[in-house]
Amino acid sequence: MKSYSTIIFDLDGVIIDQSIGITESVKYALLKFGIEEKNNDTLLSFIGPNLKSSFMRVYGFDEKKAMEAVGYYRETYKLKGIYEFKVYEGIASMLSTLSKEGKKLFVATTKPKAFAETVLKHANIDSYFNFIHGDTMSYDVTKAKMIKMILDTLENNDFSNVVMVGDRDSDIYAAKENKIDSIGVTYGFGTVDELRRANATMIVNSVSELKERLR
């Protein structure tokens, strides 16, 4: 089994479950446009992908309207939704073990960097990470670009010991674009079929299994 020395984690659906905070914030934004969304699966589809693109993809908003929706989303998210999350059981212990073993740990998330830092600090697990990469408030940095930024900080160009851990196909595709391995987790918000179609290097079903693979 391959050993990884540098591990890049997605945030939502891998480290934390913030489904309530995110979906309630999306509901709030939609109500500003007279849209009352009751389909929970539709709301859950906003977890993981870029928020602006999700408003455009799901509701057909143009870019200007989508950014207006993002603004409404942030109104409630930064006050309430950002604190409505739970860390998946076993994550803190796994991060502690990996850190003690000398592995370099990073976060790459479509959540704005400031929000990601607040969440991880509130969860008291921010100290395990070498760096936290997030999007800008304009949503103009892709997951693939974040991974590239991380790879550029490494000492050599051998990325065979680098892996991206994510729960959505967008995480897997971003890893493939940078020619690194990927681990898809099924305990988040993506599906097994989604991860298989994206051709994840491997798929795990629990935090304990993820820990075993990463060690």
Residues known to be catalytic: 10
Q: Which residue, among 116, 64, 41, has the nearest Cα to 85 in the 3D structure?
A: 116
193, HSE (Cβ side, Cα atoms, 13 Å) = 0
Residues 6+ apart with CB under 8 A from 158: none
Dist. CA 174–CA 118, nearest whole Å: 24
Residues paired with residue 182 on neighbouring β-strands, in sequence order:
164
Cα separation, 175 vs 169, whole angstroms: 10
